[in-house]
């Protein structure tokens, strides 16, 4: 278990249990805690709380939860040898570290190795066999398959074959000591961690905000987003469960093969509109991000952008920047722009920035950095270091969409941006109460 940290609606766990039942053998779940670049201690604390719940849930089903820390390949190999495992099941992650780990294990392990995509509703390699060009090409493929995959998963059962080997596991207290070496950034994460909390959060979102989601989710001063990304990122809830619950609640099938109509002020959207808007974000956009990272190995680099954008950014490389900030100024929200500072303050205080501001925040980093490369590097650093949902394909794609026109089309040529879509504060002000947003997040000076 790595990316999908849950007991329920976990197809990797279900596949492993199904084989263990067939072979009449015990089933073990192994989780390896390791330090990942640019993540903060608060993110690990959130994760460990979730793992604590998982460990108890699994124990009550006669499935031991083995926790290790440090070098993953060695730890996994040792456990596989110790229990004389017949098969190993990994949950799927398109990012390079996870993929190379499962490949290395597959090449040295004498049993069978499987990778199960339980993060996406449609497994990445089934949704498409190539890097998709844009959301509209992905949408068509997702819509063709969605109905076949929005199926209620089986339930994990009490495992009848008792483990005969007591595999050494570190305690949660030891795991906490291990993460104590990771730098804290003083982030106050408001989401309550764990599978149960995730389910409760979903329930209240559906009841209280689904009806207004289509209209209001972009409103920076009145946050009506789902708030699901911390849970989806750590796999404490599956996007399949979210989709099944919204479909059940609205008692209507999602709108397929038509662009979702995004509500505008004056409309009175329904829960049905909310469901369609949510599925557009959580299935089309999110699964497009996994598609990109799966088929494009340079997923954190300018090189992965479309040719028109790379050429046009290169043409504007020497344009004079009105402002140029360095990483420490970004990090401490010390720019001339109060909206940008508010966004960065929201991020560093709470570990989550409003989704609409994320686009503005990244685009301004492109505008006020010496080079696009430096902008991408600093933006990834800030997003992964502070955001609870960072270190995720959605983040790398969101940053490349904002900065190098990924999945987007050319716009009008302008300074620094070239043909990459531009955003300015005036646009924010026309739509939302920017002053209220600034008051919320900028300290009184
Ligand atoms: C520069 C930039 C950086 C981003 N970094 C991240 C990140 O690190 N992690 C992350 O999960 N998302 C990231 N996003 C995408 C999006 O902003 C967040 O998913 C969203 O704000 C999370 O809050 P929510 O769950 O309340 O969103 P909601 O609007 O309620 O969306 C529900 C879910 O849909 C998915 N989703 C929504 N918008 C997008 C999108 N544009 N692309 C892909 N999936 C989407 C997410 O899983 C999200 O949890 C980034 C976007 C940009 C422009």
Q: Where are the domains of the chain?
A: 195-295, 302-441
Q: What is the mean pLDDT of the segment spanning 247-266?
A: 81
Q: Which CATH superfamily is domain 302-441 in?
A: DNA Cyclobutane Dipyrimidine Photolyase, subunit A, domain 3 (1.10.579.10)
- DSSP 8-state class, residue 61: T
pLDDT digits (tens, 9 = 90+) for 119-152: 999 999 999 999 999 999 999 999 999 999 999 9
Q: What is the mean pLDDT of the segment spanning 7-20?
A: 98
State phi, psi for 286 to the nearest 5 degrees: -70, -40
CATH T-level fold of 195-295: 1.25.40
Long-range contacts of 165-172 (CB under 8 A, 24+ apart): 165/82, 165/83, 167/28, 167/64, 167/66, 167/79, 167/82, 167/83, 168/66, 169/64, 169/65, 169/66, 169/67, 169/68, 170/67, 170/68, 170/69, 171/67, 172/48, 172/51, 172/52, 172/55, 172/67
Q: Check whether 439 has a pLDDT greater than 70.
A: yes
**pLDDT of res. 87:** 98
Question: Which atom of ligand 1 lies closest to the CA of 217?
Answer: 29
Identify the sign of the CA torsion 46, 48, 52, 57: positive
Question: Which atom of ligand 1 lies closest to the CA of 356?
Answer: 17
Residue nearest to atom 5 of ligand 1 (CA): 395
Percent of the chain with pLDDT over 90: 93
Comparing CA positions, the residue from 243, 428, 263 lying closest to residue 354 is 428
Residue nearest to atom 43 of ligand 1 (CA): 286
Residue nearest to atom 32 of ligand 1 (CA): 282
Q: What is the mean pLDDT of the segment spanning 54-69?
A: 98
pLDDT digits (tens, 9 = 90+) for 86-121: 999 999 999 999 999 999 999 999 999 999 999 999
Ligand 1 centroid vs 435 CA: distance in angstroms?
24
**pLDDT of res. 261:** 67
**pLDDT of res. 242:** 98
Comparing CA positions, the residue from 65, 31, 44 lying closest to residue 179 is 44
- The rounded mean pLDDT for the chain is 96
Structure tokens at 407: 């999945």
Pocket test for ligand 1, best of 213, 236, 389 (most atoms within 8 A of CB): 389
Question: What spatial distance separates the first Cα and last Cα of the chain, rounded to whole Å?
Answer: 46
Pocket test for ligand 1, best of 135, 206, 229 (most atoms within 8 A of CB): 229
**pLDDT of res. 262:** 65
Q: Check whether 170 has a pLDDT greater than 90.
A: yes
Q: What is the mean pLDDT of the segment spanning 201-227?
A: 94
Question: Which atom of ligand 1 lies closest to the CA of 354?
Answer: 21
Pocket of ligand 1 (CB under 6 A): 217, 225-229, 232-233, 281-282, 285-286, 289, 355, 358-359, 362, 383, 387, 389-390, 392, 394-395, 398-399, 402
Ligand 1 centroid vs 394 CA: distance in angstroms?
6
- Report in angstroms the alpha-carbon separations of 134 from 78, 137, 257, 397: 43, 6, 15, 11
Ligand 1 centroid vs 233 CA: distance in angstroms?
10
Residue nearest to atom 44 of ligand 1 (CA): 286
Ligand 1 centroid vs 230 CA: distance in angstroms?
10
Residue nearest to atom 52 of ligand 1 (CA): 398
Q: What is the dihedral of CA 221, 225, 231, 232, to 10 degrees?
A: -130
Q: Check whether 263 has a pLDDT greater than 80.
A: no
**pLDDT of res. 399:** 98
Q: Is 65 exposed, middle or buried (0-12, 13-18, 19+ CB in 10 A)?
A: buried
Question: Which atom of ligand 1 lies closest to the CA of 389?
Answer: 9
Q: What is the mean pLDDT of the segment spanning 217-240?
A: 95
Q: Is 188 exposed, middle or buried (0-12, 13-18, 19+ CB in 10 A)?
A: exposed
Ligand 1 centroid vs 390 CA: distance in angstroms?
10
Residue with tokens 């059962």: 157
- Cα 216 to Cα 138: distance, rounded to the nearest angstrom: 25
**pLDDT of res. 443:** 78
Reported as a pLDDT band with limits 50, 70 and 90, residue 265 is low
Q: Check whether 445 has a pLDDT greater than 80.
A: no
Question: Which atom of ligand 1 lies closest to the CA of 239?
Answer: 47
**pLDDT of res. 336:** 97
- 239: Cβ–Cβ under 8 A, 6 or more apart, which residues? 119, 120, 121, 232, 282, 283, 286
**pLDDT of res. 444:** 60
Q: What is the mean pLDDT of the segment spanning 225-254?
A: 97
Total Cβ atoms within 10 A of residue 408 = 19
Pocket test for ligand 1, best of 289, 343, 376, 394 (most atoms within 8 A of CB): 394
- DSSP 8-state class, residue 280: I
Q: Helical H runs in 134-228?
A: 135-149, 172-179, 195-208, 210-216
Pocket test for ligand 1, best of 280, 355, 401, 420 (most atoms within 8 A of CB): 355
Residue nearest to atom 37 of ligand 1 (CA): 281
Ligand 1 centroid vs 343 CA: distance in angstroms?
15
Structure tokens at 408: 């987007």
- Cα 110 to Cα 105: distance, rounded to the nearest angstrom: 9
**pLDDT of res. 223:** 85
- 231: Cβ–Cβ under 8 A, 6 or more apart, which residues? 191, 197, 198, 201, 202, 237
Residue nearest to atom 26 of ligand 1 (CA): 227
pLDDT digits (tens, 9 = 90+) for 312-340: 999 999 999 999 999 999 999 999 999 99
Residue nearest to atom 35 of ligand 1 (CA): 282
Identify the sign of the CA torsion 107, 108, 112, 117: negative
Ligand 1 centroid vs 270 CA: distance in angstroms?
22
pLDDT digits (tens, 9 = 90+) for 345-358: 999 999 999 999 99
**pLDDT of res. 258:** 74
Beta bridge partners of 113: 88
State phi, psi for 115 to the nearest 5 degrees: -120, 125
Total Cβ atoms within 10 A of residue 250 = 19
Ligand 1 centroid vs 52 CA: distance in angstroms?
26
Question: Which atom of ligand 1 lies closest to the CA of 205?
Answer: 30
């Amino acid at each position: 278990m790595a990316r999908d940290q849950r007991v329920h609606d976990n197809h990797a766990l279900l596949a492993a249990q199904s084989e263990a039942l067939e072979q009449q053998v015990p089933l073990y779940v192994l989780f390896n805690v390791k330090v990942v670049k640019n993540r903060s201690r608060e993110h690990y604390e959130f994760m460990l709380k979730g793992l604590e719940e998982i460990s108890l849930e699994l124990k009550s089903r006669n499935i031991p939860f083995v926790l290790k820390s440090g070098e993953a390949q060695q730890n996994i190999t040792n456990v596989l040898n110790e229990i004389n495992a017949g098969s190993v099941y990994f949950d799927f992650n398109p990012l390079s570290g996870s993929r190379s780990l499962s490949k290395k294990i597959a090449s040295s392990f004498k049993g069978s190795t499987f990778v199960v995509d339980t993060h996406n509703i449609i497994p990445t390699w089934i949704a498409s066999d190539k890097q998709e060009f844009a959301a509209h090409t992905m949408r068509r493929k997702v819509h063709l398959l969605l109905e076949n995959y929005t199926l209620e998963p089986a339930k994990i059962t009490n495992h009848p074959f008792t483990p005969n080997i007591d595999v050494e596991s570190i305690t949660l207290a030891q795991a906490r000591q291990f993460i104590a070496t990771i730098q804290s950034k003083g982030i106050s994460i408001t989401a309550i961690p764990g599978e149960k909390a995730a389910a409760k959060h979903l329930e209240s979102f559906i009841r209280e905000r689904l009806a207004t989601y289509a209209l209001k989710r972009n409103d920076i001063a009145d946050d009506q987003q789902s708030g699901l990304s911390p849970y989806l990122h750590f796999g404490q809830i599956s996007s399949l469960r979210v989709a099944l619950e919204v479909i059940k609640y609205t008692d209507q099938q999602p709108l397929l093969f038509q662009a979702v109509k995004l509500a505008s002020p004056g409309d009175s959207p329904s829960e049905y509109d909310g469901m369609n808007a949510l599925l557009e974000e959580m299935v089309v956009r999110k699964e497009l991000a996994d598609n990109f990272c799966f088929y494009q190995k340079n997923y954190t680099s300018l090189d992965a952008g479309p040719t028109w954008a790379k050429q046009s950014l290169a043409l504007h490389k020497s344009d004079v920047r009105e402002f140029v900030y360095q990483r420490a100024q970004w990090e401490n929200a010390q720019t001339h722009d109060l909206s940008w500072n508010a966004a960065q303050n929201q991020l560093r205080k709470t570990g989550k920035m409003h989704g609409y501001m994320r686009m503005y925040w990244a685009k301004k980093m492109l505008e006020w950095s010496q080079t696009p490369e430096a902008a991408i590097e600093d933006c990834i650093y800030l997003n992964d270091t502070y955001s609870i949902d960072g270190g995720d394909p959605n983040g790398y794609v969101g940053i490349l969409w904002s900065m190098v026109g990924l999945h987007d089309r050319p716009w009008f040529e302008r300074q620094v941006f070239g043909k990459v879509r531009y955003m300015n504060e005036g646009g924010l002000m026309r739509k939302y109460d920017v002053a209220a947003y600034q008051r919320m997040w900028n300290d009184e000076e």
